[in-house]
Amino acid sequence: MPRKKPFSVKQKKKQLQDKRERKRGLQDGLRSSSNSRSGSRERREEQTDTSDGESVTHHIRRLNQQPSQGLGPRGYDPNRYRLHFERDSREEVERRKRAAREQVLQPVSAEVLELDIREVYQPGSVLDFPRRPPWSYEMSKEQLMSQEERSFQEYLGKIHGAYTSEKLSYFEHNLETWRQLWRVLEMSDIVLLITDIRHPVVNFPPALYEYVTGELGLALVLVLNKVDLAPPALVVAWKHYFHQRYPQLHIVLFTSFPRDTRTAQEPGGVLKKNRRRGKGWTRALGPEQLLRACEAITVGKVDLSSWREKIARDVAGASWGNVSGEEEEEEDGPAVLVEQLTDSAMEPTGPSRERYKDGVVTIGCVGFPNVGKSSLINGLVGRKVVSVSRTPGHTRYFQTYFLTPSVKLCDCPGLIFPSLLPRQLQVLAGIYPIAQIQEPYTSVGYLASRIPVQALLHLRHPEAEDPSAEHPWCAWDICEAWAEKRGYKTAKAARNDVYRAANSLLRLAVDGRLSLCFYPPGYSEQRGTWESHPETAELVLSQGRVGPAGDEEEEEEEELSSSCEEEGEEDRDADEEGEDEDTPTSDPGSCLTARNPYALLGEDEC
């Protein structure tokens, strides 16, 4: 038997990497020589992606790669719904890293937090969304798709020709995702535009409002979601702001996690995570308002009495809440018919001009990623029927749900419209996947200059010998201080893992535990007026009535310890939040013995 040649560890690692890539369906020899994880992932994505928009631009980054075993049974690519964003150049990333180390953070004034929609979208400009071009039934499917592709390329060319990449925000470059929006708008009788109350103008494209209310002639309901994350006075101010600028809107206040705003929140509350348990979804605030808005729109053309009866049953069931309520509801509760229309947006079916067909009202739910579309549907149904995630792009295709025999909900994937919004604010709004950010430190600096992150998290400056002394902070210092407090270390050199710490801070902001709220124009001068407004007091009382009270609602708060992780859930994106699962509490001192120590070997903390 011939003697084997020497085989180094480096060669073995390369062999294993090649083997993994072959399993993903990649060709041999295409692996890059770069050691960058993000760079190799981007190159693999360029080799495997076959969806539309391939020639849109040479600098497109495709996220959320899904394992594929070839094309589907109907010839569709399983990765066609991936998020497509413009890629930042390496020079730009390095420049921002240097700025995060050198620029001293200064707190901004309250006027800087005032955000006008004209600054974000510039109504009347080319910052529009792509429309489905005219077509007829005489056209073949290939002709229709080719026409849509040409129209989409022209749309992208206009935007990139009018604005530089530095001025433009991230926005969707994938035609397949826009096709989902077209189909949902064609199916809907009423359109719900869901926004986050912390920054509603970010999630409200005026072009969509004009198209829905003008060309389509549909009613548009603006849902100000997550009202529990903002002061009640600010919620009322935003409501009146949209009423004045867009009089055709029907505005609804909604939250799936109401809380009593009259109780003061401790500063340490930013490190607590709420979990929905038992019949928590029936405690949602806003289904009654949404029902009244739909009744005003349909004016008796659809019988919505079954919806009103369902809301009454949910309220009665929540008041009778018991320990085993969740199990009983899932087993004995009324079934919700779920239809996953994966490829319907590809079919050449024209818009349905017949309103309220067969006595059923179809409500389309559209909006940006991470504004709570799926949570809103769960709150309307009264239990979890839609998978919820903080990762943008989790909902990949639209689905329909029959809330009652006469009410059908249609959940559209999150879409990012082009705007002039700072990219740092897009990251903090949860629009861009945090796990895919190449340089998170600029966004941390943007956050820390607008809310006192150092005080809320009780951070100590990494270069401070005396804790009482004042030291200038930069974004890098905040990340290093948070890594030191949380014990984030690199694997080899055991240095402070500032990248992981920056991602952790951004997730706290996206989850609302570090809440950054923007104001409508003129709010700072009229703050006292809005705080004494009658609607503010009414909102406070309504949240107190439906908010958690006692053990029956069982909304759990788990404080993050500085010495041990919370099951790794705080530092990586999860496909599902697990809001309906009961998590046993344990003593922080015994967390290391309660967990499997060997599980640390397989954790992907980045």
User: What would the pLDDT profile of 387-411 be if each residue is shown by its tens digit?
Assistant: 655 555 445 566 788 889 999 998 8
Helix 498-511, helix 441-448: angle, nearest 10? 50
Report yes or no: 362 and 189 within 8 Å, Cβ to Cβ: yes
User: Residue 52 — very low, low, confident or very high, per pLDDT cuts 50/70/90?
Assistant: very low
Nearest-5° Cα angle at 60, 55 to 63 = 120
Q: Is residue 158 part of a domain?
A: no
Residues 178 and 299 in one domain: yes
Q: Is residue 287 part of a domain?
A: yes
Q: What is the mean pLDDT of residues 215-226?
A: 93
Kindly write down the DSSP assignment for every residue of 214-253, as one continuous string. IIS--EEEEEEE-GGGS-HHHHHHHHHHHHHH-TT-EEEE
Domain boundary pick from 389, 411, 433: 411
Residues 198 and 334 in one domain: yes
Count of CA atoms in the C-beta half-sphere (13 A) of 157: 7
Residues 199 and 68 in one domain: no
Q: Is residue 188 part of a domain?
A: yes
Please state, in angstroms and rounded to a whole number, the distance separating the CA atoms of residues 237 and 188. Answer: 29
> Which residue shows structure tokens 């992606």?
49
Residue 33 has pLDDT above 50, yes or no: no
User: Residue 430 — very low, low, confident or very high, per pLDDT cuts 50/70/90?
Assistant: confident
Kindly write down the DSSP assignment for every residue of 169-193, as one continuous string. PP----HHHHHHHHHHHHH-SEEEE
CATH code of residue 277:
3.40.50.300
Beta bridge partner(s), residue 366:
193
Backbone angles phi, psi at 506, to 5 degrees: -65, -35
Highest mean pLDDT among 65-74, 249-258, 273-282, 464-473: 249-258
Higher pLDDT, 31 or 468: 468
Q: Is residue 528 part of a domain?
A: no
Q: Is residue 249 part of a domain?
A: yes
Q: What is the pLDDT of residue 66?
A: 55
The residue segments making up the domain with residue 213 are 172-260+271-411
pTM comes to: 0.75
Report yes or no: 414 and 395 within 8 Å, Cβ to Cβ: yes
Tell which residue, 440, 443, 486, 478, has the closest CA to residue 460. Answer: 478
Please state, in angstroms and rounded to a whole number, the distance separating the CA atoms of residues 35 and 309. Answer: 60
Strand, helix or coil at 477? helix
Domain boundary pick from 80, 111, 133: 80
User: What would the pLDDT profile of 550-605 be if each residue is shown by its tens digit?
Assistant: 433 444 444 343 333 333 434 333 333 333 333 333 343 434 334 444 343 344 44
User: Residue 77 — very low, low, confident or very high, per pLDDT cuts 50/70/90?
Assistant: low
Q: What is the pLDDT of residue 532?
A: 93
- CA 453 from chain centre, in angstroms, equals 22
Q: What is the mean pLDDT of residues 174-184?
A: 88
* Tally of structural domains, the chain: 2
Report yes or no: 301 and 399 within 8 Å, Cβ to Cβ: no
Q: CB count, 10 Å around CB of 43?
A: 16
Residues 181 and 73 in one domain: no
Q: Is residue 576 part of a domain?
A: no
Q: Of 249-253, 279-283, 474-478, which gets the smallest average pLDDT?
A: 279-283
Residues 75 and 184 in one domain: no
Q: Tokens representing 257?
A: 């996690």
Q: What is the pLDDT of residue 586?
A: 38
Domain boundary pick from 393, 411, 429: 411
Please state, in angstroms and rounded to a whole number, the distance separating the CA atoms of residues 25 and 15. Answer: 16
Report yes or no: 345 and 179 within 8 Å, Cβ to Cβ: yes
Count of CA atoms in the C-beta half-sphere (13 A) of 494: 0
Q: Is residue 438 part of a domain?
A: no
Residues 176 and 75 in one domain: no
Report yes or no: 257 and 232 within 8 Å, Cβ to Cβ: no
Q: Is residue 352 part of a domain?
A: yes
